[in-house]
Amino acid sequence: MISMIVGEIANFAAYAFAPAILVTPLGALSIIISAVLAHAILQEKLHIFGILGCVLCVVGSITIVLHAPQERDINSVKEVWDLATEPAFLCYAAIIVAAALVLIYFVVPHHGQTNIMVYIGVCSLLGSLTVMSVRALGIALKLTFSGTNQLFYPQTWAFALIVATCVSTQINYLNKALDTFNTAVVSPIYYVMFTSLTIIASVIMFKDWDHQNPTQIVTEMCGFLTILSGTFLLHKTKDMADSPGQSFSTERLKHASQNGFSIEVMPLKCQDSVDDEALTLSLPKADNGYLKEEHPLRYKYSSIV
C-alpha cells in the first residue's frame, strides 16, 4: 500500500513536468514490471505471448519518449485557467460532463450490470478531466515550491475541487466494474479508453501538437498503438496454459475422479455403425444400493469419427 501511494504521488508529480501525451501512455510500464515480478516472485509462468507483450510495450514507450512534444512554459496558474476556459476545451468539457451524467443517471441503472462499457465509460470520460486538473494543480504546486506562491489564486482551489470530485467518482465506478466483470477484460479496455480521451483532452487544452510536424504526430500515434497491442496481448493471454493437451487431460482426470466414473474409449475408424462392444461405460458399484451392477452401454448405428 505504501508503494502504491508513493507511485501515485510520483505519477501526480510527473504531470507538472511533462505533457500528458507523454506521461499517460507510459503507465503501461507498470504492467510490464508487474508481469516480471509475478514471474520472479510468485512463480507465475510468463509464456512467449507475455514476453512479446512486454516487448511491444517497451518499444511503444521508447517511440513516444523520443518523439514527445516539449513541455509548455507556464508561469502562473492563471495561464492554465485561460487555456481551460477557451471555447474549444469548454465545448469538450461540456460534452464529457453531459455524457457522464447521461451514463450515470440513465444508463447505469438499466445496463450497468450487463454492459462492461457503461462503468468504464464513466471512469474514462471523467478521467480525461481529472488528468487535466491534476496537471494544472501540479503546475501550481511546482511554481509554489519554486518561490511563486499560487495558493492565493482561486483557480488553484477550483482545480483541486475538480480533482477531488472526478477522482472519487472514478474510484467508485472503477470498483463497480472490477466487482462485476473480469479484471483481465476491464483493465485493457479502461486503459485504452482513458489514455485515448486523455490525449485528446491534452491536445485540445494544452495544444501539444501545435509545434510538431505530421511525421512526429504519426510516430507518436504508432507508439501508442504499439503499447495498446502489447497491453492487450498481456491481458488476453495471461491465463493461457502452456500445453493445452496436458491441461485438458488433467481436467478430464480430475472430473472423472470427482464423479467416480471410469471411462474407456476405444479408437474408432470412420464407419457408419459401431460394433456392440466398441464403446463401454462402466459404473462403479455403490454401497447404498442405488447402483447394483455394471451397466454396459452399447451404441449402434452411430456416425462417430
- Count other Cβ atoms within 10 Å, centred on residue 252: 11
pLDDT of res. 275: 46
Burial of 5 (0-12, 13-18, 19+ CB in 10 A): exposed
Residue 20: how many other CB atoms lie within 10 Å: 23
Please check whether residue 201 is in contact with residue 90, taking contact to mean a CB–CB distance below 8 angstroms.
no
Angle at the Cα of 231 from the Cα atoms of 225 and 234, rounded to 5 degrees: 140
Rounded to two decimals, the pTM is 0.71
Residue 192 to residue 208: CA distance in whole angstroms: 20
Closest CA to 172 of 96, 94, 104: 104
Pairing of strands 262-265, 279-282: antiparallel
Question: Which SS3 state, helix, strand or coil, does residue 282 take?
Answer: strand
Contacts 24+ apart (CB under 8 A), 28-32: 28/57, 28/60, 28/61, 28/191, 28/227, 28/230, 28/231, 29/57, 29/58, 29/61, 31/57, 31/231, 31/234, 32/57, 32/58
Instruction: Give the cell for residue 198.
Output: 486523455
Ordered per-residue pLDDT tens for the chain, 305 residues:
888 788 888 888 888 888 888 888 887 787 778 778 878 888 877 788 888 888 888 898 888 888 888 777 888 899 999 999 999 999 999 999 999 999 999 999 999 999 989 999 999 999 999 999 999 999 999 999 988 899 999 999 999 999 999 999 999 999 999 899 887 778 778 888 898 899 899 999 988 888 788 998 899 899 889 988 888 887 777 666 544 444 444 444 444 444 544 444 444 444 444 444 444 444 444 444 444 444 444 444 444 44
